[in-house]
């Protein structure tokens, strides 16, 4: 009998059980107290102490020292299963194994940095098990890793194109089957393909996929219903669709958590019980007639939530859910609002602040950030009493307060000679808005505009140190933990450094 190429232990091979290939004994043999004999040394063999027993082939464990980058340490047995229990593909087995490793070890942690703990990363504990039982989602998952591999190697896109063709064919079969079309895996496939096409520059295809996933969500009863079965799917669909289309695609629930839309976080409901849905009157003395009541409510609840978060750590998931809800609330019907430029400046500054706090999650928000910065500049220009010029495309009474969005979603920027005044009495909101706008504008043509106005405003308000800044921010929505405050403090300090160098982007 010729020598076997089998890598699993004899006991697991005998009953065709997925072996996790641990040495000197696999988890199953440890649990059963049986002998563990390997015909060949496992490809992933390492010298390590026995790990906790996994209850299923896709279970995830993490070593005591923290997240490991090896598949063996993550104990994802099916990724090296000698029986190839994952869906078949047209790629070679070795290539598939490499792409699986790339997704689990890199994509799940670097491209979707929502959760860096392997025990709670949703792409390991939710997405991956789903992909193993869904051929379409498995192909789409491999495609994300394949695209990353090809981009780094700069060798064309032959393999990812092959996976794309197969992904679309498999997805069409699911969509045509009424029992499969509304599955979470189907929604995951469609929104991921939308992100892939948009990232490749195929904007129309990306938008087409978004429209498709919106119809599926509607048939499911709304994004809130999707969240009940798969929070990860609901987050992906709502967030990525907004970034691709440049505006929210789904409604939100009310402040009390009612309706089929995107829900608020628990803290949002709790702080609402306290009442007092208004900011400190001394902070907004010039703005009582300018702030949209909804914006006022959002700013007030954010301030209360951030006060609760001062001492404790905030999970990336919780922060993302808050950001998603707030941004959708602020932008969903912003074009229909009839408020002043000062009130709209607060709207766009709040969006910029939330995007900055969250950082890039699920999908880069660069385009939306630039769009918000451009609109903020436009509103601030109109707030200035002695403005000599306006952005190209100005039109009175139009949406965005005279700021015409270009095809790429940006407002054409033109330098002005306006004074730095945002509101009539130079309130603390000037400090907050210009600080938020400046950080959001790093790396854009608008950054020098914000930097110059900050220098002028600092002279007017006698702001000489970061402590002076914090005094102005007291009572405003501000997350004061060091990890977030540093994002704003260092760019502000760079303005007053010799030569005024543009600061590094600390938002990632």
**pTM, whole model, 2 decimals?**
0.78
C-alpha R_g of the chain? 26
Question: Pick from 10, 28, 59: which residue ends a domain?
Answer: 59
| pLDDT value at residue 482 | 85
CATH code at position 5: 4.10.240.10
The encoded tokens of residue 302 equal: 């954010």
Q: Is residue 145 part of a domain?
A: no
Instruction: Say how far apart CA 240 and CA 249 lie, in whole Å.
Output: 10
What values do phi and psi take at 276, rounded to 5? 55, 55
Residue-level pLDDT at 244? 96
Distance from C-alpha of 273 to C-alpha of 296, rounded to nearest angstrom: 16
97 in a structural domain: no
Residues of the chain with pLDDT under 70: 1-7, 16, 39-84, 111-114, 274-290, 311-312, 335-338, 362, 385-426, 498-508
Alpha-helical runs (H) found in 108-254: 122, 128-132, 135-153, 158-176, 184-199, 203-219, 223-229, 231-245
What's the pLDDT at 47? 35
Q: Which two tokens stand for residue 32?
A: 């059963």
Burial tier of 367 (Cβ tally within 10 Å: 0-12, 13-18, 19+): middle
Rounded to 10 deg, the angle between the 341-358 and 428-440 helix axes is 50
CA distance 247 to 413: 20
Q: What is the DSSP letter of 38?
A: B
197: in domain:
no
Last residue of a domain, one of 59, 76, 108: 59
Q: What is the widest separation between alpha-carbon atoms in the chain?
A: 92
Tokens at 140, concatenated: 């789409």
Angle, vertex CA 262, rays to CA 259 and CA 268, nearest 5: 90
Q: What CA–CA distance (Å, rounded) separates 302 from 34?
A: 57
Q: Residue 412's pLDDT is what?
A: 46
Question: Cα–Cα–Cα angle for 501, 506, 507, nearest 5°?
Answer: 130
Tell me the C-alpha distance between 138 and 140, whole Å: 5
Cα separation of 416 and 450, whole Å? 11
CA distances from 310 to 61, 305, 323, 472, 474 (A): 31, 9, 17, 17, 13
Cα dihedral 257, 262, 265, 271 sign: negative
pLDDT score for 97: 93
Look at phi and psi of residue 475 and say left if phi exceeds 0, alpha if psi is from -120 to 50, else beta: left
Segments in 93-157 forming alpha helices (H): 93-102, 122, 128-132, 135-153
Question: What is the domain count for the chain?
Answer: 2
CB environment 461-490: b (16+ within 10 A), e (fewer): bebeeeeebeebbeebbbbeeeebbebbbe
Is residue 361 in a domain?
yes
> For the chain, give me the number of helices (H) and strands (E)?
21, 0
Tokens at 252, concatenated: 């939100």
Q: What is the pLDDT of residues 219-247, one digit of tens each?
A: 999 999 999 999 999 999 999 999 999 99
Q: Is residue 355 domain-resident?
A: yes
- Between CA 223 and CA 241 the distance in angstroms is 12
> The domain containing residue 21 runs over which residues?
1-59
Asked if residue 486 belongs to a domain, the reply is: yes
Q: Which of 10, 136, 19 is nearest to 79 (CA)?
A: 19
Residue 202 falls inside a structural domain: no
Last residue of a domain, one of 36, 59, 82: 59
- The residues near 266 (Cβ < 8 Å, ≥ 6 apart) are none
Q: Is 220 among the domain residues?
A: no
């Amino acid at each position: 009998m010729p020598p076997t190429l089998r890598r699993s232990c004899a006991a697991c091979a005998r009953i065709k059980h997925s072996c996790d290939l641990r040495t000197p004994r696999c988890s199953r043999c440890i649990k059963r107290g049986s002998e563990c004999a390997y015909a060949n040394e496992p490809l992933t063999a390492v010298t390590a102490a026995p790990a906790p027993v996994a209850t299923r082939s896709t279970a995830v464990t993490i070593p005591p020292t923290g997240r490991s980058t090896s598949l063996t340490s993550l104990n994802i047995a099916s990724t090296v299963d000698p029986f190839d229990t994952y869906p078949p593909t047209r790629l070679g087995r070795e290539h598939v194994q490499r792409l699986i490793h790339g997704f689990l070890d890199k994509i799940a942690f670097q491209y979707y940095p929502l959760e860096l703990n392997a025990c709670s990363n949703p792409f390991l504990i939710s997405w991956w098990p789903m992909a193993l039982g869904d051929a379409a989602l498995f192909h789409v998952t491999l495609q994300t890793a394949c695209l990353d591999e090809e981009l780094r190697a700069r060798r064309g896109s032959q393999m990812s194109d092959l996976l794309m063709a197969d992904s679309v064919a498999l997805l069409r079969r699911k969509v045509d089957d009424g029992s499969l079309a509304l599955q979470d895996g189907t929604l995951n496939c469609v929104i991921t393909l939308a992100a892939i096409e948009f990232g490749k520059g195929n904007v129309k295809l990306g938008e087409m996929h978004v429209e498709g996933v919106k119809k599926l969500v509607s048939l499911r009863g709304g994004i809130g219903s999707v969240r009940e079965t798969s929070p990860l799917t609901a987050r992906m669909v709502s967030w990525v669709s907004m970034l691709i289309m440049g505006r929210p695609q789904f409604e939100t629930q009310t402040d009390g958590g009612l309706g089929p839309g995107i829900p608020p976080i628990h803290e949002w409901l709790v702080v609402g019980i306290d009442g007092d849905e208004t900011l400190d009157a001394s902070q907004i003395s010039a703005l009582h007639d300018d702030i949209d009541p909804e914006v006022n409510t959002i700013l007030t609840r954010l301030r209360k939530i951030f006060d609760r978060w001062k001492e404790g750590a905030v999970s990336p998931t919780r922060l993302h859910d808050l950001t998603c809800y707030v941004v959708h609330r602020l932008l969903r019907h912003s074009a229909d609002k009839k408020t002043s430029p000062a009130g709209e400046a607060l709207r766009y500054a709040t969006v910029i602040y939330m995007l900055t706090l969250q950082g890039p999650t699920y999908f880069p928000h660069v385009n939306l950030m630039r769009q918000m910065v451009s609109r903020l500049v436009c509103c601030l220009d109109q707030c200035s009493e002695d403005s000599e010029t306006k952005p190209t495309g100005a039109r009175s009474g139009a949406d965005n307060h005279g700021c015409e969005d270009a095809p790429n979603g940006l407002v054409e920027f033109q330098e002005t000679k306006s004074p730095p005044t945002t509101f009539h009495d130079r309130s603390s909101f000037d400090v907050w808005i210009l600080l938020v706008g400046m950080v959001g504008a790093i790396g854009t043509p608008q950054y020098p505009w914000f930097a110059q106005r900050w220098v002028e405003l600092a002279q007017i308000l006698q702001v000489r140190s970061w402590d002076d800044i914090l005094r102005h921010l007291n009572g405003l929505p501000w997350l004061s933990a060091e990890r977030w405050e540093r994002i704003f403090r260092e760019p502000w300090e760079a303005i007053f450094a010799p030569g005024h160098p543009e600061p590094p982007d600390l938002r990632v």
